[in-house]
């Protein structure tokens, strides 16, 4: 089983995770999807959990690109992306793009939604 912790308050993240869940269901891949309310089960507070995508498999936790790659490698329609982002130059670039661009942008949107609530 793959456990996923994601920012379920993010509409973009939620749509993406729902797509993964549908594909996992069709492929017989067991997923447990946790939202920010379950962050303490991951030894995180919800704010910290909202900063990055995380997965756990066989007791080992992964974050950011490594988490996506582990999940993608299990899903038939996404295996190609796991392999592609594993190539040395592309891995470095994709990791930095997620860590320094995508994750901070999604977190900023999360904070904005929190202030409005």
Q: Is the pTM of this model over 0.85?
A: yes
DSSP bridge pairs for 55: 4, 62
Beta-carbon-side half-sphere exposure of residue 96 (alpha carbons within 13 Å) = 5
With a cut of 90, say whether residue 38 has pLDDT above it: yes
Q: CA angle 72-11-27, nearest 5°? A: 30
Contact 10, 106 (CB under 8 A): yes
- Helix H or strand E segment including 19: helix 11-27
* φ and ψ of 31, to 5 deg: -125, 145
Total residues found in the chain within this entry: 117
pLDDT tens figures, 1-21: 999 999 998 999 999 999 999
pLDDT tens figures, 59-77: 999 999 999 999 999 999 9
Contact 51, 103 (CB under 8 A): yes
């Amino acid at each position: 089983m793959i456990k996923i912790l994601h920012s379920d308050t993010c509409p973009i993240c939620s749509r993406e995770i729902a797509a993964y869940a549908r594909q996992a269901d069709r492929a017989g891949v067991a997923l447990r999807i946790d939202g920010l309310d379950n962050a303490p089960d991951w030894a995180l507070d919800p704010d910290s959990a909202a900063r990055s995508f995380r997965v756990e498999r066989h007791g080992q936790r992964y974050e950011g690109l490594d988490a996506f790659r582990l999940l993608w490698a299990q899903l038939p329609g996404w295996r190609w992306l796991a392999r592609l982002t594993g190539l040395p130059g592309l891995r470095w670039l994709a990791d930095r793009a997620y860590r320094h661009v995508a994750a901070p942008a999604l977190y900023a949107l999360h904070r904005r939604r929190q202030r409005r609530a």
